[in-house]
Each structure stands twice: as structure tokens, then as C-alpha cells.
Structure 1
């Protein structure tokens, strides 16, 4: 009798443990951790690698704000999460650290090169509206327009196309340091730190979102260390890397800045995802109402979810490619839920469209896997 009781107790415990299965957090991105304490880019996992638990609406997406949307890309409500924010960027405080060889050339670097690089990279993804600070080019073009078209035409164009007003500004402080190892033969080790802050230019508020943080890039991340090797004799440079030549130093810092901006870009893309409305689903293929015009990138991994009365129901994960004003994708894994099974059944050999009062959306989970590789 006692043995029977003990056996029954063990079975109850086993059943309890089995019933309390731990739910792991969704894993939607991947990163490779560098060994030198430098920052690394965080990119989206491929849609084909998602598990059922990964199919969740990603962080930083405001589903409640969808009620404010007009779904007109050209004239979207400012409170709609589908609206592209208007951003102005600044490189602010600049500091140079280190002592000895190479510091003087490092001080000569002009951060304006990084600013223009930053603007170009962010404008190129078409997920934000960037107000350029390239005043020289703007002034030159306006002068050329004035000379060719006249003052009346220039005034008319200025009224028709007013200067954009930023929703927020991104301010980046930089710290550049150099350390040289060895006296006769050694290496120049450069470090670039970018610290980003987001500010509301009208309320003067230091904003918590998007939180881009600090990025650290080391010269060995972008150049083979042997390229930065030098040889000295009698305290004079003999051969190797010309650490005293600003052109050579600028080339290294530009490469480091480009990598830092790529990392910054991946953080911004994670915190401000691309979104589109699903027009229909057929046999796992999804049709989206927005494409490159709304910042949907090639190879995008997107979560498909149903939105009704404030409730969110994930349906699946899709691999998406955009055209100019729309996009198509293929659902690679359906969510194991009654809602997903119902949508999948109704979309077999027919076009499934949401019922009135219900909408289906696609939201990106981060920078596409191969995106940075194709931009270098």
C-alpha cells in the first residue's frame, strides 16, 4: 500500500513539472560578440529560422497607436506608428584622447564627414525623413536656381516646398583616441566612440526613445592590424603606416565611422520598425500596401499579426521583398494558434481578406540579415 502511495506521488510531481513548462523569450535577432569590447551590429534572424515562440509582435512597436492611422502614406496622422518621423542630425561634442605619436593627425579629422555619411545612410533606407545639414550644397543650388529661373520662381518654389520641421533630433558626441604600442616597431590602435542622444527641439526634452546608446569601434574591426604597423629609427618614421599624415589617418577613421554608423542604423531600425497593412493572403503569400516608399527593405523578416479592438494575435513570420509602393512576402512559419489556423485554412486556394473591423499588419523585427553586406 505504501509503495502504491509513493508511486502515485511521483506521478503527480512529474505531471506538475510537465505542466509548468518554461516559456522562453522570443529570439528575433542575432549578433556576433567581438572579442575586443567593440560594439557589434544586431540583425534580424531569417524568417526560416524562427520557432513558434519567436512569432511575437516585436518590442518598440506601438499597436495601440494604429487607431490613429489613416493608412495614407502621403498624409499620415502624426500619432500613427506607420508615419515616417522627420529627423535632423548633429555631431556635437568632439574630443580626442591619447598622447605621443599620431595624436596631432587625429585632431585634424573633420566630423562633418561623419555627419554627411550619417545623413546619407539614414536617408537611404527611406524609413525616416532626414533634414540635411549640408548648408553649402543647399546654398549653392538655391543660388544657381535664382540665376537660372529668377527671384519670382525661387519665391514660388519656397512657398510650395517649405523646409521640414523635425519631430526630433539625434545628437552624436564623438571620442577619438589613439594608442601606439612599441618604440622601434609597433602598431597604431585607434578607437572611435559614438554616443547618441535623442532630443525634442521644441520642448527641450531629452527623450528615452529611440535609445541608441554608445557605440565603440576599434581600428582592428576595419583594418588588418598589420596595415597599421610602422617602423622607427632615431625617433623618425622609416616605413609602414603614416600615422602623422592626416589623409592616411582620415581613411582609417572614415572606415571606423562607417562601421559605427552601420551599427547605429541597426539599432534605429530595431527601435523604429517598418510596418505595412496586409491587403490579402493566399497560400501563404502576403500582399502589403507599403513598400520601399515606407522603408520596407529587401529581405525583411516581418511578423504578420491580426489587430482587432486593441487585441493582437500573431499569425506567422514572413520573408518580404518590396517594390516601389507595395511589397509581397511568403509566410515561412505559421503560429500554432486557432487564429493562425483559421486564416491559413481560409487562404488556401483563395484570397483571404480581413473581416470589417479587423486588420492584419506586418511589422519588421530588425535589420535584414544581408542588408549591411550589400551596402558596403
Structure 2
């Protein structure tokens, strides 16, 4: 069964499970206020702030086939749900809109800057394998290797390490607009919109998952409006923001692009959660069999649940920190249920280990609070 069909089945299963749960809405993420239709990053609620009704398994998780995972990035089985998709990214259509001052400088913005930022950010979360399109760096490195190692050694290494073939292509389109307010004294208002599409490069199908929607960033989200103020006299720039200077405009657009990519990242992390199996529970402490290698992030909020005979039953919520190949966490709140009470009682008496007929997993609910700030 190909990966696309697996994804469809996983989504159907998640929908059925969600429908079977309590109708009371869980609050697992939080957002800031949306102003001027700008987009905001969505982050996971801290595990220490959860209430009982919030302890529900989020959508888009998949526990099927975890036993088939071996974490060999070169030969991971297709039926392993944690297999990292190989992705190549493109910035495709680019439109520039607006009238009056500053449009030409806005047209000169180089989308390659966006592509490099996007690749760097997505590679860092370790839930994807990114095939870089930075041909300049690769070409320079290959030439250096030829000079230092010789053609024979380089050819041998290249034969053993083939260029990755993407499972998906991520295509992003951007729209940049500028609006001026005022005639003598005015302000430059910039807007950046990013839309994305996930494409199967072999079937040419545009996939519905993951769906991150449209992202809109305004200049006022990243700069104080006074910084974009300018003064005109006789239709000429006198002082203030140099809207005609591409270097100054690029600096603003880079800040806007960085914020847009952060928002894109948080949406992807919500739709592609990290999953790990629980080795054991002692008191409120849990031990997971996967860590950074499965994309578990520092201070990750994870729902702990039991999976048995196709049924999912939440047990609690935990704050988790990974090492390279495992993770440790603290259950901050146990679910108010007979199952959770039973497991908690056994964990108080010693180390609770799931039996052979049941398995306990932990699944993330979104981008950890503070994660984006710690990476800037």
C-alpha cells in the first residue's frame, strides 16, 4: 500500500476516533489575538495548564505499525508511521501588488532567501528529510572534495550515497503587497501572503494533507510602525524609511518571511505530531523509547494513552524532554478515569510496564511554548 493511501486511512481512523470521544471540546493549543487579518503562530498549551477535559488524543496520530520501525534513515520501512517523508521545497509563483511608492524595491526581493530559511527551519525539527536546493553550496563542497580527496574517492562515496528521491514536493506561492498612507508624511504598509501545496512528484497529485492554509504577515507584526514612517517634499523622499532602497525593504521582508515560516512550522507540527511508545511509568515519571530521532522536541506537551484492540483511552498529559534516542517526561495530570487511576496506583508502588496485550503511547499536541523563541 503506498504512502498516500496510508495517509488517507490514518486520517479516516483519526476522524472516527475523534467522533467517538466526548463532545466537550478539548483545549490543547492557544493563540494570540488576530489583528488586521494577520496570522498568528499556534502553540501547544503547557502540560502544567491542562484540565481533565483537555486530555484527549489529537487528530493525525497513527499508532499502526510502530513495531516495524528501526530508525535507520536509509532503510526505514514504508509501513512505519514514523518514517520521515523526504521533501524538496520550491517557491513557485511570486506576485507583487500595490501602487505608488516602493513597488519597484519590493519587486527586487529575492525568494531564494525564503527558500533557505524554510529549509533550515524544517530540517531542524527532525520530522522531515529535506533535500536542499542550495546548489551553490553543494557545488562548492563537491569541488573542494575533488581537490582534497581525489576523483576516485569522491566517486566511491557518491555511489554509496545516492541523492535522496523526494516523497513529496512542497510548493509555496507568495504575494507581496505595499500600501502607502499619507502624502507629505506617510507610512509604508507591507503584507506577505504565503500559500502552500503538497504534491506527489510521481503521480502529480496535489494532496490534501497536510493542509496549512494561507499565512498572512503584515509589516506591523515585525516592526514598529514608526520605523516605516517617511517624509516627502516636492514628491521626493526627504527623510525616514528608505522605501526605494531594496536593502532596507529586504530587511523588513526578511523579518516578515521569518515570522511567516514560523507560523507555517507550527501548523505542520500540529498536523504531523511526534509519537513514541512508553517503556514504563514510575510515580509521575514516564520513559519513552524515542526522542529526538522521532522529532520529539524540548518541553513537548504529549497526551499519554493506551491503545488496545483498536481502542484508544487517554491516561494523562505529560511534559517531555528528549535525548537523542529516548525521552523522559512527567505526567502533570492524570485523566479522571478508572484506567488512569489503576495505572497511577501501580506506578506509585513501583515501575509500571504495559503487558504484552496493551501498549501505551505518547503523542504531541503541537509546537511547544517557547520553542520558536529559543531558535531565534
Distance in 1 (alpha carbons) for counterparts of 2:76 and 2:364: 19
Residue 342 of structure 2 corresponds to 342
Residue 99 of structure 1: how far off its partner (Å)? 1.2
Paired residues of 2:68 and 2:79 also in contact (CA < 8 A): no
Contact 1:308–1:359 (8 Å) recurs in 2: yes
Determine which of 68, 71, 95 is the counterpart of 1:70. Answer: 68
Larger Rg: 1
User: Where in structure 2 are there 5+ consecutive unaligned residues?
Assistant: 1-21
CA contact (8 A) 1:68 1:77 kept: no
CA distance in 2, matches of 1:95, 1:263: 21
> Aligned to 2:119, what secondary structure does the other structure show?
helix
Shift of 1:368: 0.3
Pairing of 1:223-238 with structure 2 (within 5 A): 223-238=223-238
User: Is residue 321–residue 327 contact of structure 2 (8 Å, CA) maintained in 1?
Assistant: yes
CA distance in 1: counterparts of 2:67 and 2:255, whole angstroms: 40
Q: Secondary structure at the match of 1:348?
A: helix
Q: Does the C-alpha gap of structure 1 residues 133 and 96 become closer, same or farther in structure 2, counting only changes over 3 Å?
A: same
Q: CA deviation at 1:168?
A: 1.0
Name the stretch that deviates more: 27-36 or 240-249: 27-36
Provide Cα deviations, 1:81-128, integer angstroms capped at 9, x if missing partner. Answer: 222221111100000000110000000000000000000011111121
Displacement after TM superposition at 1:23 (Å):
4.0
Say if 2:320 is the partner of 1:320: yes
1:52-131 equivalences in 2 (<5 Å) = 52-63=52-63, 66-67=64-65, 69-74=67-72, 75-131=75-131
> Could you list the runs of 4 or more consecutive aligned residues of structure 1 that deviate by over 6 angstroms after TM superposition?
none
Question: How far off is 1:357 after superposition?
Answer: 2.8
What is the deviation of 1:309?
Answer: 2.0
1:33, distance to aligned residue in structure 2 (A):
2.3
TM-score if structure 1 supplies the norm length? Answer: 0.92
* Separation in 2, partners of 1:84, 1:280: 25
| 1:59-91 per-position Cα deviation (integer Å, ceiling 9, x unaligned) | 11123xx23642322253223222222111110
The question of whether the paired residues in 1 share the 8 Å contact of 2:291 and 2:324 is answered with yes
TM-score by length of 2: 0.92
Query: For residues 180-191 of structure 1, what are the structure 2 equivalents within 5 Å?
Result: 180-191=180-191
CA contact (8 A) 2:170 2:196 kept: yes
* Separation (CA, whole Å) in 2 of partners of 1:357 and 1:150: 56
Within 5 Å, which residues of 2 pair with 1:227-306? 227-306=227-306
SS for the counterpart of 1:204 is coil
Q: What's 2:370 paired with?
A: 370
What is aligned with 2:16? none
CA contact (8 A) 1:82 1:276 kept: no
Q: Secondary structure of the equivalent of 2:362?
A: strand
Cα distance in structure 1, aligned partners of 2:82 and 2:316? 20
Question: Distance between the aligned counterparts of 2:271 and 2:54, measured in 1?
Answer: 17
Cα deviation, residue 295, structure 1? 1.2
Task: Check whether the contact 2:85–2:129 (CA below 8 A) recurs between aligned residues.
Answer: yes
Contact 1:315–1:335, Cα closer than 8 Å, also in 2: yes
Match in the other structure for 1:218: 218
Work out the CA distance in 1 between the residues paired with 2:374 and 2:151. Answer: 43
RMSD between aligned residues: 1.2
Number of residue pairs matched by the alignment: 353
